[in-house]
Structure 1
Amino acid sequence: MSASSTDKPARVTPLASPGVAVFFKLAPITLAVFIAFLTIGLQLPVLPLHLKDALGMNATVVGVVVGAQFAAALLSRAWAGNFADLRGAKRAVMAGFITAALSGLVYLASLALLGRPDWSVAVLLLGRVVLALGESLMVTGAMSWGIGLVGPQHGGKVMAWLGIALYAAFGAGAPLGVAINQIYGFAGISLASVGLSLAALLLIAPLRAIAPSAHRRTPFYQVLGAVWRPGLGLAFSSVGFGVITAFIALLFAARAWGNAALAFSAFGAAFILARLLFAHLPDKLGGARVALVCVLIEAAGQLLIWQADAAHWAYLGAALTGFGYSLAFPGFGVEAMRRAPPQTRGLAMGAYVAFLDLSLGITSPLAGVLASHAGVQSIYLAGAVTVGLSVLVALSLLHSVKMGD
């Protein structure tokens, strides 16, 4: 099939049930992204405890190591976005899967240095950077690929369904990672990361590609100027996700509440439920309006974790956080896509997701310092306050829509 016939969303045939058509076009990509992102889900409850128990590191080091992935992803978003626009979105996704597999091998190498904890942490940091490059290519490429297949009018659905894959992988991967770690240790986590990434690569290989959407590199700052306000909303709202990802396992350990994997599962299940039921709302009602309601729910979840005196309240807080954050991402994302030139689809999505990376890259180390001085539970109060700032961004976007901006 020629390149000229593969990237024309206008040729999508209207159906009586366009949502069904969108689902079937996105399903293979969504499944592959789910399989690949299990590699990250496996690590969520295991990596912080590996750093603490096997390597003797404190909460500050845990925050730095966990946050390194997001910081490296931030720096790679412009490169990944231009890669997808210039060389094709499918090629970007495949390169991301290969890179994610390599990160598992780096993790495995870190185990040879357990006797020298500082060196082992340094190798783990390298593994996090490699994983970040893979994740950046996967997410940016998959969003660009999906939007190219179904058209920008379904952009909110693309972000919603790919988000389901990501956070379902987090929710399913967390208890799976605990089980693998109990039987095979961190070496099992590392090898599973390699195998899952390669399985996703095999699944995606036969799928139809779309032609590159650009013929020359677009300066990152040009797209950044178009998406910065929705991106700021994403950054503030992502703090709730970040403090659960990095520190909920340590909170459960400090309170002797048992298995923290259920908190990740509660977050993931609520996240998926919200998207299954309401994924159409950002395209239908407007992204800013949906984001406004959702970030209020997310902030309430953070407050509940802060005040929790038993595990079940923390599970509920994680679920509310996941439910609220679920549609904040596509809500602000629809606003970002509306403001960006269509030929810079990959770069615009990369610029938008870069605000997520910035948020998580800053959140993890700062929350680690706060936890070291005021206790782990205090970071969820800070999370609620920061998520609340995204309410102001959503109101600003609503005002600009009414003014015709």
Structure 2
Amino acid sequence: MNATIEKNVEPGFYKTIIPIILSVFSVYLTIGMMLGILPGYIETGLKYNSIIVGVVIGTQALATLLTRSYAGKLTDTKGARLSSRIGGTLGIITGILYLTAALFSRNAATALTIILTTRILHGIAESLLVTGSLTWGIGLVGVEKSGKVMTWNGIAMYAGIALGAPLGIALFKTTGIESAFGAISLLSGLSLIITHKLPSLPVDLSHVRAPFYKVVGKVSGQGLGLAFASIGFACISSFIVLLFTQKHWGNASQAFMMFGGCYILVRIFFSSFPDKYGAYAVALISLIIEIAGQLLIGFAGSGSIAILGCCLTGAGFSLIFPSLGVMAIKKVSPQMRGTALGAYGAFFDLSLGIAAPVAGLIALWYNYQMVYVFGALSCLTAVLVLFLGEKEKADTKKTATVYNSETINNNK
């Protein structure tokens, strides 16, 4: 009986979710393309150092972070469709601004100013589209499939980053940076077309909504774990190209692709593990794998070892977001789901926004490989956060049990 139900439900699930996943994939292709070409363009084209590279990469994440509250509120009060479509529209404008920056390449200060402004807009577009898309998908297929929606959303995100980076590098080398920037607008427009026929979700305006800071407090345990775990990803996305260039290890595209490939494979084949074995256990093992990957890159003597480190980092990081994310959204009512997803995702943005400039400073003081030692230490901190959270949960449960026992005895 259950098998029959599952068989009937799954086609409907994928028919609904595929347009949303393709839309997210299109937008993250644009993000991956920028991660592939901006570090090299800023360092060699505009002649700025690694700190400026970190600031440029981190600016988008900080912009996403600062607009998570607005994105969640807009999604909950005006609808997921509207939030998603505004994000796609801003993505089109972003591509035009990147192209404008390329016209001022001979004036480094002007080009950098335009790029920083564009990174802010790109971050806002990401915030609105991802919050809207996740809420839209969960609302259409049901909260009981929220883990699966997050899993496929994550696959779309990191597949986009993994494929976008080499795509951007290839366009840059073959047809120039202008074509890579122009593709941003085309892909953002495609994200709007793909979801055009999906139904809108009803909006419940009667529900009393908690302030954003209270929602942040509710998901802060899972959010902090995600934040420290995400620093390893930030180190790869910001500096792997420059590390390969410095060490003369060849094209860094393979590093991005192997990171993304391992991330996706783990998501596909092991996405049921958090439900089967518990989010805490899965997150803990994942962090240990990610630590090993970061240390391999940090002490690599060749490009092959560094790529292996990227593989382990991708595999380890893969299940952390859905494991902790499902726990986070269960702490709020359905009417606050968009806000909760925005609050939870804000920790990821905060991590990227802070990690990239800090890693740039470490690279300037030491070298690019020390960036990945920093990534390993950050993941170790995430292990400590998870351990303390689990201990606090156990202590609270124990206190409640003792209290209930004493109450029963007193009543007797």
TM-score (norm. length: structure 2): 0.92
- Structure 1 residues 324-403: aligned runs within 5 Å: 324-399=316-391
Taking the TM superposition and a 5 Å limit, the aligned residue runs for 1:120-199 are: 120-199=111-190
- Match of 1:57, SS state, is coil
Computed over aligned residues only, the root mean square deviation of the Cα atoms, in angstroms, reads 1.7
- Please state if 1:50 is matched with 2:41: yes
Report the Cα distance in structure 1 between the residues aligned to 2:229 and 2:173, rounded to whole angstroms.
33
In 2, Cα distance between equivalents of 1:372 and 1:208: 50
Query: Which has the larger displacement, 263-272 or 201-210?
Result: 201-210
Do the aligned partners of 2:209 and 2:336 also contact (CA within 8 Å) in 1? no
Question: Is it true that 1:247 corresponds to 2:233 in the alignment?
Answer: no
Amino acid of the residue matched to residue 172 of structure 2?
A: N
The answer to whether the Cα contact below 8 Å between 1:213 and 1:345 also exists between their aligned partners in 2 is: no
- Cα distance in 2 between the residues matched to 1:316 and 1:203: 35
Equivalent-residue separation in structure 2 for 1:82 and 1:179 (angstroms): 39
Instruction: Report the equivalent of 1:292.
Output: 284
Shift of 1:181: 0.5
Q: Percent identity?
A: 41
CA drift at 1:217: 5.4
Q: Give distance in 2, aligned partners of 1:283 and 1:152.
A: 14
Is the CA contact (8 Å cut-off) linking 1:153 and 1:283 kept in structure 2? no
- SS state at 1:46 partner: helix
Deviates more, 1:179-188 or 1:393-402: 393-402
1:177-235 C-alpha deviation (Å, 9 max, x unpaired)? 11111122221111000001101111111111211254465411121111001000000
What secondary structure is seen at the aligned counterpart in 2 of 1:242?
Answer: helix
Can you list the C-alpha shifts for 1:307-327, whole angstroms capped at 9, x where unaligned? 111001111100110111110
Q: How many residues align?
A: 393
| Bigger mean CA offset, 202-211 vs 369-378 | 202-211
**Deviation larger for 185-194 or 235-244:** 185-194
Contact 2:296 2:306 in 1 (8 A): yes
Does 2:19 align with 1:28? yes
User: How far did residue 21 of structure 1 move?
Assistant: 4.4
Deviation, structure 1 residue 392: 2.0
1:205 paired residue among 171, 196, 203: 196
8 Å contact from structure 2 (residues 298, 370) kept in 1: yes
- One-letter identity of the residue aligned with 2:119: R
Deviates more, 1:47-56 or 1:214-223: 214-223
Does residue 92 (structure 1) correspond to residue 91 (structure 2)? The answer is: no
Aligned to 2:261: 269
Shift, 1:18, TM fit: 4.8
CA–CA separation in structure 1 for the residues paired with 2:189 and 2:292: 39
Unpaired stretches in structure 2, ≥5 consecutive residues: 401-412
Residues 35 and 57 of structure 2 are in contact (CA less than 8 Å); yes or no, is this contact kept in structure 1?
no
- Structure 1 spans left out of the alignment, 5+ residues: 1-12
Task: Indicate the structure (1 or 2) with the bigger Cα radius of gyration.
Answer: 2
CA distance in 1, matches of 2:351, 2:204: 28
Structure 2 distance, partners of 1:17, 1:313, is: 45
d(CA) in 2 for partners of 1:362 and 1:212? 35
Which residue pairs with 2:67 in the alignment? 76
Relative to structure 2, which stretch is displaced further, 234-243 or 104-113? 104-113
**Secondary structure of 2:157 counterpart:** helix
- Deviation, 1:141, is 0.8
Partner amino acid, structure 1, of 2:24: V
d(CA) in 1 for partners of 2:84 and 2:271?
23
> Moved runs in structure 1, 4+ residues, more than 3 A?
13-24, 213-218, 396-405
Per-residue deviation, 1:96: 0.8
Provide the C-alpha distance between the structure 2 equivalents of 1:162 and 1:139, rounded to a whole number of angstroms.
9
Q: Partners in 2 of 1:355 and 1:291 — Cα distance?
A: 16
Contact 1:107/1:190 (8 A) holds in 2: yes
Residue 280 of structure 1 aligns with which residue?
272
Q: Look up the equivalent residue of 1:156 and give its one-letter code.
A: G
* Structure 1 contact 305–318 (Cα < 8 Å) conserved: yes
Render the CA deviation track for 1:9-64: whole Å, top value 9, x for unaligned.
xxxx9544655543333112111111221111111121100001110010010000
* SS at 2:116 equivalent: helix
Equivalent pair of 2:27/2:126 in contact (CA under 8 Å): no
Determine whether 1:114 maps to 2:136: no
Change (3 A) 1:388 1:17: farther
34, 37, 40: which one aligns with 2:31: 40
**CA distance in structure 1 between the partners assigned to 2:167 and 2:52 by the alignment:** 25
Partner of 1:340, secondary structure, is: coil
Look up the SS of the partner of 1:45 in the other structure: helix
Distance 1:303 1:213, change over 3 A: farther
Whole-Å separation in 1 of the counterparts to 2:50 and 2:105? 19
Does 2:264 match 1:259? no
